[in-house]
Amino acid sequence: MSQLVVLNLGKGNWHQGFPTVIAQLWERDNPIPIQFTGSLPPDPELSQLYQQWRSLYKALYDPFSFCRSQPNPAIEFDEKDFTSISDAEFKNLSAQLQHQLNLWLKSDSFRNIELNLRTRLMPSSVIQVLIATEDEQVRRLPWHLWNFFEDYPLSEVALSTQNYESVGTSLQKNTGKVRILAILGNSKGIEVQKDRAVLEKLADTETVFLVEPQRQELDNCLWDEQGWDILFFAGHSSSEADFAKGKIEINPHETITIPQLKNALKTAIANGLQLGIFNSCDSLGLAQELADLQIPQLIVMREKVPDVVAQKFLKHLVATFSSGQSLSISVRKARERLQGMERECPCASWLPVICQNPAARPPTWEKLRGDRRKKPRNTPDVVTIVFTDLVNSGAIKQHSDSRDYSETILKPYHERVQTTLITYQGRVVKSEGDTHLLVFANALQAIKWAVDLQTSCKTKPIPTPLGELQIRIGMHTGSPLHNGSDFQGEEIDWGTQIYALAKVGQILLSEVTADLLRHANLTGLRLHCHGDRYLKDIGAVPIFELLYADKACRRRSTSQSIPQF
């Protein structure tokens, strides 16, 4: 689970400001959030800039049929004006809006919140930032342009209402497939078949396509007792002027609203619907009404979206999400890929936005499939993989001659690593320099060995020219592939990348290994979660540190003794 920040703006508006802004930082396994308070001042200039920006944006796109909404006949359009707006005025106005937004968020009254967040969050963490407000114009701001997100590359913004509740699901699915109900609505002037082609290529899915359906057909499908994981819509849609309501064109002759599907949608959510994707124009109004039904997650477009932009976004979104990365990171990556289209489609990367129910945990592709990998038990086919090496070994070598380094540092270090391996049912798979790859019959024995090794480095230190020798350890539990006497495959990749994150004296664990210690009842040991970390070709995963003796974690968080974990 990524770290969650909820910014509740409270009551207010552009002209009165937001006098009570509450920021809550939720950390894994801690039911009580860290809380900071501040305020945001009135800023009618920001409101005016946004209104001007939106008016020009609408003027750019309303006349064209390649958008996923119908043209507005009330707006007259001159091609010469389009060139002027797109190349000069609109670009300048977009920059002004971004600048004014960041000035507002740099207000003295808001500084306490931002400083506390930056103090407690690491740039390498996966962070979801929820903006909770009932002011519809504030919801529509391009919040992703806040400088905070530039400094935290694995963070993404989402919108939330201030009133929400959790919804229990009645189904426990274990099909191994993601069930998708895909509505391909009115396609006049756009190519929704390209959306279909993207969805058809997804592995491990069961997708039902409704092509320009009648209302009754759609309603019946939503009541399906098997339940749906994802509800997808491509076609024309729009929001009303107050942004609080929306409508979709399900076929060339029929437009419907969310209230007209209320009972069917509530049933679909109760049956396990986790994610709605409305790859269509101006769909924030739909998001507001669906949030009232407590749908867990939504992805919508804040303004009119060109057809080619919607197609590219969907392609990159599902490719990243289905590869195992978090939903928030998948949206951010897909959104950022749209920047390359902004010469022809200005502000394309501003359009996608997540709307989230804070009471619901964002789904992963594995969870949607219903066959999330079971936590390994200590069976003969499962081993705990351990990597260990010396900290700062390169500098130690430079301050030692080769003979002294081998005889007085490396040799006693190797001996210490191997001395108790038999006792703890472990063995050396291979050693290269000061790095060891070890395997243990079970996670408990690996933990005991690792604690003994780290403790011995304190009680019986090995001297070096730069002080006492220090080591780091990382481990993961799984079933790696055998290659003769060696091991290889994804499980080894996990172990390698986890140990690479470790610092001086640390023992880092994957979530799989940490789970095996839940009932270990090891006196004096605690687990501390560092939140999600990104592992190459794996995705964002939670990383745990084993705290032993009097060792403290490097950052403030809730740590738990193993029996209570």
Percent of the chain with pLDDT over 70: 86
Q: Which of 44-48, 83-87, 132-136, 313-317 has the lowest mean pLDDT?
A: 83-87
Mean pLDDT for 491-520 is: 88
Q: Which of 215-219, 384-388, 404-408 has the lowest mean pLDDT?
A: 404-408
Identical fold for domains 3-158 and 178-369, yes or no, is no
Q: Which of 133-142, 217-226, 405-414, 483-492 has the highest mean pLDDT?
A: 217-226
Cβ atoms of residues 371 and 174 within 8 Å: yes
Look at residue 163 and give its three-state secondary structure.
coil
For residue 563, pLDDT over 80 is answered with no
pLDDT of residue 116: 95
pLDDT of residue 73: 39
pLDDT of residue 406: 87
Is it true that domain 383-564 has CATH number 3.30.70.1230? yes
Look at residue 81 and give its three-state secondary structure.
helix
Mean pLDDT for 511-535 is: 80
Top CATH class of 178-369 equals alpha beta
The first and second tokens of residue 555, run together, are 């950052």
Q: How far apart are CA 148 and CA 25, in angstroms?
A: 15
For residue 78, pLDDT over 60 is answered with no
Mean pLDDT for 72-81 is: 41
Mean pLDDT of the chain: 86
| pLDDT one-digit tens code per residue, 172-223 | 455 789 999 999 999 999 999 999 999 999 999 999 999 999 999 999 999 9
Architecture of domain 3-158: 2-Layer Sandwich (3.30)
DSSP β-ladder status, 539-547 and 507-510: antiparallel
pLDDT of residue 263: 96
The pTM score is 0.68
Q: How far apart are CA 530 and CA 544, in angstroms?
A: 6
pLDDT of residue 515: 83
Of residues 73 and 294, more confidently modeled: 294
For residue 496, pLDDT over 60 is answered with yes
Mean pLDDT for 513-537 is: 79
Mean pLDDT for 362-389 is: 73
Environment class of 305 (CB within 10 Å of its CB; exposed 0-12, middle 13-18, buried 19+): buried
Cβ atoms of residues 449 and 426 within 8 Å: yes
The first and second tokens of residue 514, run together, are 């940490």
C-alpha torsion angle, residues 405, 409, 413, 416 (rounded to 10)? 140
Of residues 521 and 99, more confidently modeled: 99
Alpha helices of 283-442 — where are they, by DSSP H? 284-292, 307-322, 327-337, 365-369, 393-398, 402-404, 411-419
Q: How far apart are CA 273 and CA 252, in angstroms?
A: 27
For residue 82, pLDDT over 70 is answered with no
pLDDT of residue 67: 67
Of residues 318 and 555, more confidently modeled: 318
pLDDT of residue 171: 46
Domain range list for the chain: 3-158, 178-369, 383-564
| pLDDT one-digit tens code per residue, 233-266 | 999 999 887 667 899 999 999 999 999 999 999 9
The DSSP code sequence of 175-202 is SSSEEEEEEE---TTS-THHHHHHHHT-
| pLDDT one-digit tens code per residue, 116-173 | 999 999 888 889 999 999 888 899 999 999 999 999 998 999 999 888 776 655 444 5
Mean pLDDT for 521-539 is: 79
Mean pLDDT for 398-414 is: 87
pLDDT of residue 60: 81
Mean pLDDT for 402-408 is: 85
Label residue 62 by pLDDT band (50, 70, 90): low
DSSP β-ladder status, 127-132 and 3-8: parallel
For residue 415, pLDDT over 80 is answered with yes
The DSSP code sequence of 213-260 is --HHHHHHHHT-TT--SEEEEES-EEE-TTSS-EEEEEETTEEEESGG
For residue 558, pLDDT over 50 is answered with no
Percent of the chain with pLDDT over 90: 58
